[in-house]
Each structure stands twice: as structure tokens, then as C-alpha cells.
Chains A and B, each alone.
Chain A
Amino acid sequence: MVHKLRCFIKGYVRVQLTGEQIFRLFNMCKSHTITLRNIVQEETRIYCNILIQDLFRMLPLLKKTNTRIKIIRKVGIPFWLQKARKRLCFLICLFTCLFLLNSVDSYVWAIEYIGNLQITNDELADFIVNEEIHYGMKKDELQLEELEKRLREQFPVVTWTSIYLEGTKLCVEVKENDVTQYDKVMEASGSNLIATEAGTITSIVTRNGVPKVKAGEQVEVGQILVEGLVPVYDEALTVVDYQIYNADADIYMNTIMPYSDTVEKRYAVMEYTGKVQKCFFIEAAGRHYEIPGFWKNFERYEKISQKWQCSILEDIYLPVFYGDVLYKEYQLCYLEHTQKEMETLLYENFQHFMETLEGKGVQIIEKNVKISNNTDSMDMMGELLVNKKTGTRREIVEE
């Protein structure tokens, strides 16, 4: 097998030998270290394989022995290359492609985030940028284990992470903890519940900690509602120690919520002229090429583009992007609302605002809003008296 491969690389010919002194030729070949292969006799002719380099050395021997030679078949890479010379351009392209593919494969051309729910892709992307990882960097420069460690440090919510390469794609896979690290930290040092806005407490049901306010009491922003430090008394009702808890309670309060909204009388509307231009684009090496180029002189236009990254076998991402762009021309038309329209709009916005509040569990007790008409706008301002849940955790500060 090795011999066959070597012969194929070097190139050999199948020759037909005829003459009276063929055996003498064989023996002379032997003494000149010329190897003959696959010698077969057919009638008076003898066929054998011989390497190209040996063929030239054999020529004087053929003369001496008066043997005639006829090349039957040419096999091997040298002959293939000779034939391929006609398709030189194709070959150059082929080898260039292979070379480029090989060189491109050693860089990172795509980054994917998997398994993140609480941490957004943007946050992970910022982390990756801060770690000086970017598209087009060499795979060898990546220290994945270090990166995993730093990611866990930066995002305490991440309990497990795996950063690996799939072809030219860097995959950042994370698993997040359902119990946030915030709670864990609090568990260690304890926390108070404090008021997030001023108002009157309507009800308080404490599960953990010492309540500091009662229903009907007025509280200010930042005031402690439930304290996490629970005093331990002795028989003489003297505080001997404190137990630390995470304060937990359902506290509802009545509070004033300001509301304001404005509708301008004059407003702009996009009116499409119907002129569109579709282009295809290719992005490579930081350059953007559009085919055909955007040549229509639209004064105002909307640009809608779709972009994809080139990849081979789904894993090898190339630094080439392609897509299409749709340019739609529009004009700005300025219209004016009527008084009734403005009122309707303000009322609709207000309704929407109230629905949103109710969706968050806020009960609206009283609403006091007024519409005021200006020369070029209409305002709706006022206050809402709402009953909502309050109290946010804050770590106990040791004094």
C-alpha cells in the first residue's frame, strides 16, 4: 500500500517491452537499482510499471539491449498536474479557498449565549467585550477556564458556566440560580424592610422581624417598616442579645401618585410615497457593499434590513455577512388634532395608565385629574390616591 502510494505520488508509467534481450534489460535494471513492478507477460510482449525518474535512467539501457518500449498508461500526480495546468485558474482558486478556510478556522467569528434568563445577552456581551474578546480574535488567545471563572465572579446569579468553541463559534452557556444571590447575601447579614414612598399604612402582616409601624400610621420615604434585628430579652426584660433575620411582611399603604400627560396639537405623520429600493449587501473585513448601491436620492427614508452570517456545516462561521435592505421613501405630513381628538387621546392614555397600575396589583382609590387647554397642546395633570404594596429590603448596617 505504501509502495503504491509512493509510486502514485512520484508518478509511474505502464510500459510494453518487446525485444530479444528483455531479460538482459531486467538484469541491467537491477544493477542500476531500477525497480520494475507488476511484470506480466502477454504473448511475446512484457508489460511492467516503472517510475518516471527510473524511465529516464532506463533509456540508455534500452538502446544497449535493443529493446523497444511503448508507454501504455501514465499514472500519478505529476501527470495529473500536467493535465490540470489547463485548469490552472480553477486550481489556484481551489487551493486559495482551502488555505483561506484553514486560516479562517483558527479565529472566532460568532458568539452565542445559551441558557441566560435573568442576565441579558447585552450584559453578557458587555462582559465579553470587557474581557477583550471580540470577533476575529484567535482561538489560541482564549483562556476559557479563566473566562468561566471571571464570569461566575461577575454574575453571582450564575451557578454553572461552560464556555466552549464549536467550530468558529464561541458558545457561552450559563445556568442561573432561581434563588438570587441578593437573598443569599441578605441571609447572612439580615435585612430591614423600608418604605419606598411616603403615605399612610393601611395594613401590615409581619412574618419575620419586628414591625416598627402600625396600620394608620404616616410614614416617610426610607423609614424602617419592619426591622430584621429581633431583640432577645432576659427575665428582667433587658435586651441581652439580638437575633438577625430577613424582615418579611405584607405591608399596604395609601399614597399619592402624580400623573401628567401632554398631547401636542400639531403632530407629524409618516406618509410613504410608494418609492422603494431593494438592495443586497455583503459585509466583510469591516466594509459594507450594496448591490446595486443605494442611488435613489430619497430625502427621508425608512431602512429595513435583514442580516445573516455565512457559515459552513453550521459550525464554521465566516467573517462574512449578507442580507438585504429595503429603502422606503416617506414624507412627513403635519396634521392637527381637534379638541375632541386630543381629549380622547388623553383619556385613552389615562385609561391605559390605570390598567397598567391595576395589572401590578395597585388599587386606585381616588383620582383627581384635570385637563387644561393650551394654544398648541392639551395637558392632563393630577394625582391618584392608590393603595399599593410597599417595603423593600435593605441590609442591616451595623452601628
Chain B
Amino acid sequence: MKKIEHLNISERFAETFSLPKDMIANQTLIHMIGGTDLYIENYKGIMLYSCQEIVIKGFCCKIIICGKGLSIAYYSDEDMKVSGRIYEVKIDRNDK
């Protein structure tokens, strides 16, 4: 039980019943294919966009994507796709 002490209720619930956290706890889902394509679901919006850096606002964190020649293949209310040479994906948690 010690393992899940740092989690909130919804996260604990999802952890206990092995349910997807992105649905239950409204967490941001990130998929990455190789070093060129990145899919992000469950996000609030875009905070910054340039060819070298994209900052996405999640529900409880910020996702910072660093790379070269970055572009957004599509940007919709459900998901978005980032293309380009991705060097780094950083999570900036608000609660630290």
C-alpha cells in the first residue's frame, strides 16, 4: 500500500482496479513512435510553439518537447500529433 500513497483518489482507484488512468484520472496520454512522431491525448492546450520547442499544457503537468524542425501535423479537441526530430520530452509537474 505504501507504493500508492503519493497518488490521489482517482489515481488510486485506477491503480487498484487496473483501469486506464487517462480515462479515470484524466491524465495526459503520450505515445511516441521512434524519434519523429509524438501523439498526445487528454491535454488542455498549447502554450508555446516554435520549431525547436513545443509546450503543451496537460491536466496536472506541462509537457515540453524539444527538437528540430518541429511541426504540428494536426491539432484537434481530442488529440494532436507532433512531427519532426524530437530530442527530448520533459514533464514539468506543477506540484513539485
Residues of A whose CB lies within 8 Å of any CB of B are 3, 22-23, 26-27, 29-31, 33, 35-41, 46, 48
At the interface, yes or no: B42 with Cβ under 8 Å from chain A? no
Complex Cα spacing A39 to B71, Å: 6
Most buried by B among A30, A31, A37, A46: A30
**Are A35 and B47 touching (Cβ within 8 A)?**
no
At the interface, yes or no: B19 with Cβ under 8 Å from chain A? no
**Given A26-B45, A41-B71: 4 more A-B contacts, CB < 8 Å:** A35-B76, A38-B71, A39-B72, A41-B49
At the interface, yes or no: B50 with Cβ under 8 Å from chain A? yes
At the interface, yes or no: B48 with Cβ under 8 Å from chain A? yes
Tell me which residues across on chain A come within 8 A of B76, comparing CB atoms. Answer: 30, 33, 35-36
Complex Cα spacing A30 to B50, Å: 19
Interface of A is mostly: mixed
**Are A23 and B77 touching (Cβ within 8 A)?**
no
Q: Closest CB of chain A to B67's CB: distance in Å?
A: 13
Tell me which residues across on chain A come within 8 A of B46, comparing CB atoms. Answer: 23, 26-27
A-B contact pairs, 29 of them (CB 8 A): A23-B47, A23-B48, A26-B46, A26-B49, A27-B44, A27-B46, A29-B75, A33-B76, A33-B77, A35-B74, A35-B75, A35-B76, A35-B77, A36-B72, A36-B74, A36-B75, A37-B74, A37-B75, A38-B71, A38-B72, A38-B73, A38-B74, A39-B71, A39-B72, A41-B49, A41-B50, A41-B51, A41-B71, A48-B72
Looking across the interface, which residue of chain B has its beta carbon closest to that of A33? B77
Looking across the interface, which residue of chain B has its beta carbon closest to that of A24? B45
Looking across the interface, which residue of chain B has its beta carbon closest to that of A38? B73
Q: Closest CB of chain A to B38's CB: distance in Å?
A: 14
Tell me which residues across on chain A come within 8 A of B71, comparing CB atoms. Answer: 38-41
Complex Cα spacing A23 to B75, Å: 12
From the candidates A30, A37, A48, name the one contacting B45 in the complex (CB within 8 A): A30
Tell me which residues across on chain B come within 8 A of A40, comparing CB atoms. Answer: 71
Tell me which residues across on chain B come within 8 A of A30, comparing CB atoms. Answer: 45, 75-77
A37-B77 in contact given A23-B45, A23-B48, A46-B49 (Cβ < 8 Å): no
The 0/1 profile, CB within 8 Å of A marked 1, for residues 39-62 of chain B is: 000001111111100000000000
Tell me which residues across on chain B come within 8 A of A33, comparing CB atoms. Answer: 76-77
Q: What are the 5 A-B residue pairs with the smallest beta carbon separation, nearest first?
A: A27-B45, A39-B72, A35-B76, A36-B75, A40-B71
The 0/1 profile, CB within 8 Å of A marked 1, for residues 15-36 of chain B is: 0000000000000000000000
Complex Cα spacing A242 to B47, Å: 113
Q: Closest CB of chain B to A2's CB: distance in Å?
A: 13
Complex Cα spacing A22 to B48, Å: 9
Tell me which residues across on chain B come within 8 A of A3, comparing CB atoms. Answer: 74
Looking across the interface, which residue of chain B has its beta carbon closest to that of A31? B77
Complex Cα spacing A26 to B44, Å: 11
Tell me which residues across on chain B come within 8 A of A37, comparing CB atoms. Answer: 73-75
Q: Closest CB of chain B to A282's CB: distance in Å?
A: 56
Complex Cα spacing A3 to B44, Å: 23
Complex Cα spacing A46 to B50, Å: 9
Q: Closest CB of chain B to A346's CB: distance in Å?
A: 100
Tell me which residues across on chain A come within 8 A of B50, comparing CB atoms. Answer: 41
Q: Closest CB of chain A to B44's CB: distance in Å?
A: 8
Q: Closest CB of chain B to A330's CB: distance in Å?
A: 82
Tell me which residues across on chain A come within 8 A of B45, comparing CB atoms. Answer: 23, 26-27, 30
Most buried by B among A26, A39, A48: A39
Complex Cα spacing A29 to B47, Å: 14
Complex Cα spacing A38 to B48, Å: 16
Tell me which residues across on chain A come within 8 A of B51, comparing CB atoms. Answer: 41
